[in-house]
Structure 1
Amino acid sequence: MNGMKTAMLLAALTALFMGLGYVFGGSGGAVIALIVAAGMNLFTFWNADRIVLKMHDAHEVDARSAPEFYNLVAELARRANLPMPRVYLIESANPNAFATGRNPEHAAVAATTGLIDRLTRDEVAAVMAHELGHVKNRDTLTMTMVATIAGAISMIANFGMFFGGHGEDKPNPVVAIAAMVMAPFAAMIVQMAISRTREFSADRAGAEISGNPRALASALAKIAGPAQAIPSVASDRNPAAAQLYIVPTGVSDLFSTHPATEKRIAALMAMEPSQPAPAAPARRASALDPLRK
């Protein structure tokens, strides 16, 4: 199913890319765009994870540079019966995490230092288990390609707003207007390609992998507000990247692909019906602070 979804996504984004080519260069521009899109799709399939990680200035860690965090992910991967993913940290106050890669054998998981700072060890484990749930469910290829290709279309559309127009000295107003609607079309494709049930499925998988649905519910309660309030440089540059994260950042609703955090918490707490839903507590020091030394 995810393979078919990815193929449909590529076809839709290729058509949109050709539309941009036609708007900016007529029929010749559309042909050039088709050739470029074919090369871009192939390149993105093999390299989208590297593009996304570079977009976030993520740096890879191992058992020597961040032993507690790395070993935590290793234990979760073992529980999930998954190959060991590459592990990354991102220097950002925005508390978030994501998974990327074209399949479980070529997967990577990343967390921000802001997430590590705000959560307990059990909560960090539950969040990373959620990301491994995406890997296990094979969501990451579609998610990663959306972030890279839709972001490229938005960037080209923004460029075309100022420089479009078949070689004229000044931008053509019709071309500029057409370019303005391309980014919303890219966002619509993002929403069609990324089902909101994906997050519920990854939440359930994460709760099962970590064995602690309450810890994941508590983590979501703690980071939902700060993730909206604290800027994310990567998603500011490319709003389509926001759909990668465990909780959405403060971007336009146009790119919203996540269900309400309250609904996700309620679904997790339904796995422990005798327990009340967690409230967002005051910030506390993380049990994983040593990894940042």
Structure 2
Amino acid sequence: MKQNLIGLKANEFRHPLDLEATQSLQQFPGWDVAVRTVLGGVAEQFFYLQNVAASVKVSEKQLPDLHKLLIEACQRLDVDVPELYIKQNPAPNAYTFAMRGKQPFIVIHTSLVELLTPEEIQAVIAHELGHLKCEHGVYLTLVNIAVLAAGLLPNWGVILAQSLQDQMLEWIRCAEFSCDRAALLAVQDPKVVMSVLMKLAGGSPTLAPQLNLGAFIDQARAYDQMSETQLGDLLKTAQTQQLSHPVPVIRAQAIDRWASSPQYQRLLEQHQSSYNGEAMQKGKWRNW
């Protein structure tokens, strides 16, 4: 039975690279205020209208199976429930938007839903919840506004995209590792998280059932070995420095390692004890 991690704190699972990169960004005073003041109100209304006008809001009455996956993931990560929208789009993707004090939301593209199993969809939801749990919102919103606006408002989008610094892209790549950990804490099976990454790398509704996760992990090890030479290391750096996400094979390898770590096992045991203790104090056991 999968357990709810009552009292879970972001820093308990936050990746060290995420912490380091976030602290580096915080050395630039005014980022937080500037993003919320200049972009926050307009962007919030803009994307809210986009969601309401051209997406489907998930609820108990609308796509209840997906709503159940959302509620379960929120319970396991001990996070407030955001709004969830499903948007028609042929590019498999999911993203979140959150400004402090505002209602956060998650958007998942239909093509991603078609590609994944229900448990894998829950891993995606939990990954996005990880951004909320770690309070990545302000910096993540700046990146998402640039990416989304590039397609919706080409001129504005290009200007914003060009304004992103290498440091911002480095930060979001590091933040993704923390959110992959959040996904694992929610589904509590590393193979599910790694399968999502494999399908994002080379899956389709037709090919997905034929993919071999073990072979994909071997592929990740081969990629990792490229760092053993100076040229390989330089090429890997050049390949990733303009990306908003780490390459899927490295993310899969990172989650595989963390799932075997004492830190992950300790988190499950620690919060299982808290969960059982709370249930016993109430005089009953609770099953989710």
* Residue of 109, 112, 134 corresponding to 1:112: 109
* Structure 2 residue runs without a partner (length 5+): 1-21, 205-238, 261-288
1:146 offset after TM fit, Å?
3.2
Secondary structure class of the residue paired with 1:79:
helix
1:139 offset after TM fit, Å?
1.0
Secondary structure class of the residue paired with 2:79:
coil
Once the two structures are superposed, residues 200-249 of structure 1 have per-residue CA deviations (whole angstroms, 9 ceiling, x without a partner) of 1110121112212210110110122369xxxxxxxxxxxxxxxxxxxxxx
Once the two structures are superposed, residues 154-205 of structure 1 have per-residue CA deviations (whole angstroms, 9 ceiling, x without a partner) of 72596xxxxxxxxxxxxxxxxxxxxxxx667413367357342111111012
1:46 offset after TM fit, Å?
3.4
Counterpart amino acid of residue 147 in structure 1: N
| Match of residue 194 from structure 1 | 171
- Cα separation, 2, equivalents of 1:208 and 1:215: 11
- Cα separation, 1, equivalents of 2:82 and 2:157: 34
| Match of residue 72 from structure 2 | 75
- Cα separation, 2, equivalents of 1:261 and 1:111: 18
| Match of residue 134 from structure 1 | 131
1:14-163 equivalence runs, <5 A: 42=37, 44-52=39-47, 54=49, 57-103=54-100, 106-148=103-145, 151=149, 155-156=155-156
- Cα separation, 1, equivalents of 2:259 and 2:170: 31
1:247-262 equivalence runs, <5 A: 255-262=242-249
- Aligned-pair identity (%): 23
* Counterpart contact for 1:89–1:112, Cα < 8 Å: yes
- Cα separation, 2, equivalents of 1:109 and 1:101: 9
Give the 3 Å change call, closer, same or farther, for CA 61–191 of structure 1 in structure 2.
same
* Counterpart contact for 2:98–2:104, Cα < 8 Å: yes
1:94 offset after TM fit, Å?
1.5
- Cα separation, 2, equivalents of 1:49 and 1:212: 34
Secondary structure class of the residue paired with 1:196:
helix
After superposition, the CA RMSD in angstroms is 3.6
Q: Across the two proteins, how many residue pairs are aligned to each other?
A: 200
| Match of residue 212 from structure 1 | 189
* Structure 1 residue runs without a partner (length 5+): 15-39, 159-181, 228-251, 274-293
| Match of residue 25 from structure 1 | none
Secondary structure class of the residue paired with 2:251:
helix
- Cα separation, 1, equivalents of 2:177 and 2:45: 26
* Residue of 221, 244, 252 corresponding to 2:198: 221
Q: Does 1:266 pair with 2:253?
A: yes
- TM score, norm. by length of structure 2: 0.58
* Counterpart contact for 1:60–1:89, Cα < 8 Å: yes
- Cα separation, 2, equivalents of 1:157 and 1:64: 35
- Cα separation, 1, equivalents of 2:169 and 2:196: 28
Once the two structures are superposed, residues 128-158 of structure 1 have per-residue CA deviations (whole angstroms, 9 ceiling, x without a partner) of 1111111101112211133336858972596
- Structure label with greater radius of gyration: 1
- Cα separation, 1, equivalents of 2:167 and 2:47: 16
Secondary structure class of the residue paired with 1:143:
helix
- Cα separation, 2, equivalents of 1:254 and 1:184: 14
1:55 offset after TM fit, Å?
5.5
| Match of residue 216 from structure 2 | none
1:121 offset after TM fit, Å?
1.0
